[in-house]
Amino acid sequence: MQRKNEKMMKHTVKRFQKLLFFSALFNIVLALPLVIPVMHEKYLSLVWKLNQVLMLGGKEIIPPKDGIASLFINTAGIDLVLIGVIVFYAGLNPLKRKFIPLANAVGRTFFAMIIIYYVITMKIARIVLIIGGIDVIISIGFVYFLIRLRNLNDTTAIDRRVNDDVRAEEFDKLMESLDNIQPGRTFKRDEVNDR
């Protein structure tokens, strides 16, 4: 039973790692164009064109011409790329870095709720709903794997305790049989095998 749980644990960890790496790549690819001054303007125009092609509606995305607004966009891009790097780091050893995907799931869910707020109140381009939807799916995946790993870890720990108890019982039986041995007595081969 313990081997089966360990095998399931390894399989679950590998699947979780794939989701973490996808999530990290998703952040980095979508945010990297926002990092570079002037390029974010072209990127936002491209996102608007894609929104039009998909006929999603909402107000046109107009890149800011103000320096401070552009700086905030660049800063947000840097932050999103760094979050992607941190999630990638968590993917290298998800069993020891569980807090990172948990915090990321909370942040992604909160971000999706803010997207819904702006789509409703400000009528922003609805292409962001796709991004928010992907974030919610990623968050659900993170929570699923964190719960699954915790349950598998608990089961593995129980299996270990049961195996330890079985070993302790076998040891007690062995000690009892040793207590029954009389000094100087020799055993025939059949007697030894019976014990």
- pLDDT, tens only, 32-68: 999 998 899 999 999 999 999 999 999 998 888 889 9
| Domain boundaries of the chain, sorted by first residue | 2-156
Q: What is the DSSP letter of 182?
A: P
Torsion of Cα atoms, 19 then 109 then 43 then 41, to 10°: -150
What's the pLDDT score for residue 6? 80
Quick check: helix, strand or coil at residue 155? helix
Task: Give the burial class of 33: count Cβ atoms within 10 A of its Cβ; 0-12 exposed, 13-18 middle, 19 or more buried.
Answer: middle
Query: Which of the four pLDDT bands, split at 50, 70 and 90, describes residue 26?
Result: very high
- The packing angle between helices 39-53 and 2-35, to 10°, is 110
Mean of per-residue pLDDT scores for the chain: 86
Q: What percent of the chain has pLDDT over 70?
A: 79
Residue whose token pair is 């050893």:
93
Q: What is the DSSP letter of 181?
A: P
pLDDT in tens, 103-158: 999 999 999 999 999 999 999 999 999 999 999 999 999 999 999 999 888 765 55
